[in-house]
Chain A
Amino acid sequence: MSDINLKLAALSAGIKLNSSRAINEIKMLDIVPSTGYKNATIHNRIRISSTKLEKKTFKNMKEYLQYLNFYLNAAKENGSALIVFPQLCYLFPLTITSGGDAILKNITDIDFKNLKDYLINFEATIGQSLYEFYLNVFRTFAKEYQMAIAAGSAIVFENGKYYNRSFMFNENGDIIGTQDKLFLTEYEKRLGLTCGGEINVIKTSVGNISILNDNDCLFFETAKIAKQQGADIILSSHFSQNQRMNEKFHEALIWRCDEQSIYGIESSYKIDNIKTQASLIAPSKLTKDMSGVLSFGEAANSHTFSLNLSKLNQFDSYSSDKNQTLYKDYSKFVYFD
């Protein structure tokens, strides 16, 4: 039996999550486009903003759009060509709908009974409306700001399976790439999600980007595959409510960037009593204290970083040697049964 809140939310979605209304509301914000795209493509000055999002509930659509606009505007003011949002931020507009607060609480609760069944009911009621609303809102903002947006992720139902799919919009509002989560967290397993089957590198105006969230960053293999396919930057965010897990993923991103000579952009959520940040990670040789962290921000805001991709080509005396004979001899042993 479907949750009553899901039914209420589905009934109210026609008005409260109406894409046409959202597009009109965004256009009424009188957005001035960012110069970031021009700076990146003509002057080779790359600025990327990453968000530390404050989790909020919203009374109405206008409030939600103004909330997103706060982060986007800050990125624009700093001349960013790309802004990065953390994964699963598509769930926030749920609170605009009737019963949405309860739905958001349930669907993000790892201990919720029968989470898998709840997702099925979610998808059958409010899921599709929420998904379309999310795509249309970010598409429109990307176009208005003329700024690429890594729009976090959404739970997508496709061919009978659920995926945690990240989306990249270009400055024209087109979806230019996606990435399904490769290694599921405990929460995602309980939701009944399916692992992704590809590691995609998305070509953008600021460089080639790979999205490796949570556990995807724990394995050097994923970053190596991304780098070998041309990635310059890894985007990563964590959905964990646990300090130790957040530290773990933060450290893992530092190691990946160091091993593969690649930049990392970390986005996050503001969570009470847990230290999180939006940060720019680089190979340690490029950072003053060799810590791997070039810059970071802890306030709930957009934090803007400047990148110089040419520095990634600097020679590393530790890690530049390769032993392909070794890798070939042992690859079957490690990766095949």
Chain B
Amino acid sequence: MNSKRKTVVTVVKPFQAPSYDADIVVFSDETPYYGDESAIEHIYHCVKYSKEHHIYTVSCRFEKDFYLMQCVISPEGKIIGVQGATHLNLSYRGKFNNYSEINVFDTPIGKFFIAVDSDIFHPEVARIATSKGADFIIASRFMNLINDSNYRACVGSENASASNGIYVLDVTEFGARFITPFQNNCIRKSKIEPKFDKKYYIDFEMLKKENIFNMLNSNKLIFQKYIDILER
């Protein structure tokens, strides 16, 4: 369904106008998440924003039915899907349930997955998403809850990118980092950039994710042998 060679992703503060040529916008929000009641209002504004700017919008994190979620809105203002946090950091346990689906959004601008909050630190999540066809992952998380170094905070997204051969856009309340897969560049331990409305290019021609999966497939038997362990 992807009809583009390159997709332009941008990160802005909530509801700031995006670049005119951006295809998808992700909000960098200082709120950990929107509670059940304010979530509806937030999504309403996201829908309005998408229609106004004719852009795909990734909402901020919100609470719904005891899940921590994000949704994607099309340029026509339709909610095309949701993704919940499949793993929870310490402060969210007991408050939310673990979501048990990995939804890859198949759009004309590419196939992507939203890693909600600490999901980017769990390699199983990125592996499943890439196996389902994701070309890029948008990792949206709130850093302030857990006191951590910039490097530690970046490990998950770098790992996900290199281990699966996909792009990762790592978005926090402080800004964003864009990770390109190993096959194209050496890993750079770049810091979170506090610049907004910067454009990041997903180049589908450059994606060589089949390399890592060819390698995985070359000895899939080893994983099949230990499948009960991998399911733990």
List residues of chain A with CB under 8 Å of any chain B CB.
182-184, 195-199, 215, 218-222, 224-225, 228-229, 244, 247-248, 251-252, 254-255, 258-259, 284-285, 289-292, 317-331, 333-337
CB distance from A316 to the nearest CB of B (A): 9
Are the C-beta atoms of A318 and B121 separated by less than 8 Å? yes
CB of B222 within 8 A of chain A?
yes
Can you list 29 A-B contacts (CB < 8 A)? A183-B219, A195-B222, A197-B225, A220-B159, A221-B127, A221-B230, A228-B229, A255-B158, A255-B163, A284-B152, A290-B151, A290-B152, A318-B146, A318-B156, A320-B90, A321-B89, A321-B118, A323-B122, A325-B100, A326-B86, A326-B98, A327-B231, A329-B100, A333-B131, A333-B132, A334-B128, A335-B220, A336-B220, A337-B220
* CB < 8 Å neighbour of B186 from A184, A244, A292, A323: A244
Pairs of residues from A and B, 3 with the lowest C-beta to C-beta distance, nearest first: A220-B123, A317-B90, A290-B149
Chain B positions 94-149 with a Cβ under 8 Å from a chain A Cβ: 98, 100-102, 118, 121-125, 127-128, 131-132, 146, 148-149
A20 to B39, CA, bound (A): 78
When C-beta atoms are compared, the residue in chain A nearest to B156 turns out to be A318
Q: Is the CB of A292 within 8 A of B155?
A: yes
**Given A335-B224, A336-B224, residue A220 in contact with residue B100 (CB < 8 A):** no
- In the complex the two chains form, is A251's CB within 8 Å of B98's CB? no
Tell whether, in the assembled complex, residue A284 and residue B155 are in contact, meaning their CB atoms are under 8 Å apart: yes
Q: What number of residue pairs across chains A and B have CB atoms under 8 A from each other? A: 148
> Counting CB contacts under 8 A, is B72 at the interface?
no
Query: Which residue of chain A has the shortest Cβ distance to B92 in the bound complex?
Result: A321
Q: A247-B187, A329-B100, A335-B223 are in contact. Are A218 and B163 (CB under 8 A)?
A: yes
Docked Cα-Cα span, A242 to B146, in Å, equals: 38
Which secondary structure dominates chain B's binding surface? helix
- Distance A196 CA – B159 CA, assembled complex (angstroms): 25
- Set of chain B residues within 8 Å of A336, measured between Cβ atoms: 220, 224
Q: Which residues of A contact B91 (CB under 8 A)?
A: 317
CA distance A334 to B131 in the complex (A): 6
A183 contacts B218, C-beta separation under 8 Å: yes
Known contacts A198-B222, A292-B155, then 14 further A-B pairs from the complex at CB < 8 Å, ordered by chain A residue = A195-B219, A215-B215, A225-B230, A248-B182, A248-B186, A255-B155, A259-B121, A284-B152, A321-B122, A326-B86, A326-B102, A329-B100, A330-B102, A335-B224
The reply to whether the CB of B79 lies closer than 8 angstroms to some CB of chain A is no
CB distance from A294 to the nearest CB of B (A): 14
Alpha-carbon distance between A225 and B232 when the two chains are bound, in angstroms: 10
Give the contacting residue for A327; candidates B90, B124, B146; CB below 8 A: B124
Contact digits for B206-231, partner A, Cβ 8 Å, 1 yes 0 no: 00000010011011111111110111
Nearest-neighbour CB distance to chain B for A2, whole angstroms, equals 30
Give chain A nearest CB distance to B209 CB in angstroms.
13
- Residue on B nearest A288 in the bound complex, by CB: B149
With a cutoff of 8 Å between Cβ atoms, the chain A residues found around residue B90 in the complex are 317, 320
Known: A259-B123, A322-B87, A331-B230. A248 touches B162 (CB 8 A): yes
| Chain A hits for B101, CB < 8 A | 326, 329
Instruction: Determine the chain B residues whose CB is within 8 A of the CB of A292 once the complex forms.
Output: 155
CB contacts (< 8 Å) of A284 on chain B: these are: 149, 151-152, 155
Please, which residue of chain A has its CB at the minimum distance from the CB of B121? A318
Say yes or no: is B88 at the interface (Cβ < 8 Å to chain A): yes
Q: Is the CB of B163 within 8 A of A327?
A: no
| Contact call B146/A251, Cβ cutoff below 8 A | no
**Would A325 and B102 count as touching, CB distance under 8 A?**
no
Residues on A with C-beta less than 8 A from B219 are 182-183, 195-196
**A221-B146 in contact (CB<8A):** no
**A317 and B146 contacting across the interface, CB-CB below 8 Å:** yes
Q: How far is the CB of A258 from chain B (nearest CB, A)?
A: 6
Roughly how many angstroms separate A49 CA and B49 CA in the complex, as a whole number? 59
B86, A323: Cβ atoms under 8 Å? yes
Which of chain A's residues has its CB closest to B217's CB?
A337
B89, B151, B223: the one contacting A317 at CB < 8 Å is B89
Question: Do residues A291 and B224 form an inter-chain contact, with CB atoms below 8 A?
Answer: no
- Closest Cβ neighbor of A292 among chain B residues: B155
Closest Cβ neighbor of B220 among chain A residues: A335
A251–B159 Cα distance when bound, in Å, is 9
Asked if A197 and B222 sit within 8 Å, CB to CB, the answer is yes
Closest to A259 in B: B123
A182 touches B128 (CB 8 A): no
